[in-house]
Amino acid sequence: MLFCKTIGLIGDVHQQVRALEAALRYLSGLPLDRILCTGDVADGFGNFERCCALLREQNVETVCGNHDRWLVKGTMRDMPDALPSDALADPERGYLRSLPATREINTVAGMVLLCHGMGDNDMGSLLPWDEGYALESNSELQRIISSARWRIVVAGHTHRRLVRHFGNIHFINPGTLLQLDSAPTFAVLDVESQAVRFFELRGTEPTEVEVVALRI
């Protein structure tokens, strides 16, 4: 069994094929044990088929996001930039259906949970500014904390890069490849040196913008 030390982290993809290519090109040049993705491959203005192919070809361990689930079920197709369900070819449909809600990865510091939202709930979330009641009433978050099964939780959904600590559990969101009010982001988790390095993509060149220390 491989106990990972360094892991590449890709957030919500949303068909951003150029950003995905750039992130994978950079990550493939690093001595990584795994590359993980928080899902939401679908729904955007890029090339969905190519994104699926890249994730498969590069053996990126991906989970199913709510947009992926909606596309397979043919729901929520009236949203802006939603991919029509009749445009979903069999190979991509099969790929999305193969994506689990969660994955577990063994590391030298303990178990990592990879999910889209919060555990099995792909609509769950944790935001950088959540405090007080917002945390106490977050049942999925509290369930994960109380289980004490995982040392690190990697999640997406909010499109906000994040590192937060609750007791001995660290929550990491690598952000999104979607261009929003800031540049697309991805991250590298170094479990051995206990740090998360965030990168922004401006064009196709990644720039390291933040290093956050962990206390594993």
Tens-digit pLDDT profile for residues 172-203: 999 999 987 789 999 999 999 999 999 999 88
Ordered by start, the domain boundaries in the chain are 6-213
- Provide the 8-state DSSP code for 121: B
Which CATH number does 6-213 carry?
3.60.21.10
Q: Look up residue 137 and give its two tokens.
A: 């009433």
127 alpha-carbon distance from chain centroid: 14
Tens-digit pLDDT profile for residues 67-108: 999 999 999 999 989 999 888 999 999 999 999 999 999 999
